[in-house]
């Protein structure tokens, strides 16, 4: 996979292609997010980009109140992916107050605020 360019741009390009890809440090083998030029775990600067599995768990969740004429209440969450990174997301397909901490979800690339974004849905099974 192409590994040049600014890490944040790499991530966004991935989303634009419908993939969640994250930098994995070549030195310590850990993933991190947001993408940075230097590994936050060991300060190495070489990464390989890998698509994530999408399996994750809700770490925190908030219901944002909004009038129905503006789209109604919605959920904002912090999802922790099994790769060990946390990112802001939103759970779709569920009433916002039904999203619970510890819930197992599947992260996928959807659309939010007119752009590609990481969204979640309840995991099946
Ligand atoms: Zn590292």
Domain architecture of the chain: domains with CATH: 7-51 (no CATH), 55-122 (2.40.50)
> Is 90 exceeded by the pLDDT of residue 3?
no
Tell me, in angstroms, the distance from the centre of ligand 1 to residue 1's CA.
Answer: 19
7-11, 38-42, 58-62, 82-86: lowest mean pLDDT where?
7-11
Give 32-72 pLDDT, tens digit per residue.
999 999 999 999 999 999 999 999 999 999 999 999 999 89
Tell me, in angstroms, the distance from the centre of ligand 1 to residue 72's CA.
Answer: 42
Angle at 61 between CA 16 and CA 86, to 5 degrees: 50
Tell me, in angstroms, the distance from the centre of ligand 1 to residue 50's CA.
Answer: 15
Tell me what the mean pLDDT of segment 7-27 comes to. 95
Give 91-123 pLDDT, tens digit per residue.
999 999 999 999 999 999 999 878 999 999 999
Tell me, in angstroms, the distance from the centre of ligand 1 to residue 61's CA.
Answer: 29
Half-sphere CA count of 108, side-chain side, radius 13 A? 11
Tell me, in angstroms, the distance from the centre of ligand 1 to residue 98's CA.
Answer: 36
Tell me, in angstroms, the distance from the centre of ligand 1 to residue 85's CA.
Answer: 13
Q: Quick count: other Cβ atoms within 10 Å of Cβ 47?
A: 22
Two tokens, residue 109: 């690339």
According to the model, what pLDDT value does residue 20 have?
A: 97
Between CA 20 and CA 106 the distance in angstroms is 12
According to the model, what pLDDT value does residue 4 have?
A: 61
Tell me, in angstroms, the distance from the centre of ligand 1 to residue 122's CA.
Answer: 31
């Amino acid at each position: 996979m192409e590994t040049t360019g600014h890490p944040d741009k790499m991530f966004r390009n991935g989303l634009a292609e419908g993939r969640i890809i994250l930098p994995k440090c070549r030195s310590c083998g850990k993933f991190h997010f947001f993408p940075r030029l230097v590994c936050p775990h060991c300060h190495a600067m070489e990464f390989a980009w890998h698509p994530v599995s999408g399996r994750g768990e809700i770490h925190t969740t908030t219901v944002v109140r909004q009038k129905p004429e503006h789209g109604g209440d919605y959920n904002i969450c912090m999802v922790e992916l099994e790769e060990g990174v946390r990112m802001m997301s939103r759970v779709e397909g569920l009433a916002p107050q039904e999203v619970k901490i510890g819930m197992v979800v599947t992260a996928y690339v959807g659309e939010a605020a007119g752009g590609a974004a990481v969204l979640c849905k309840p995991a099946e099974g």
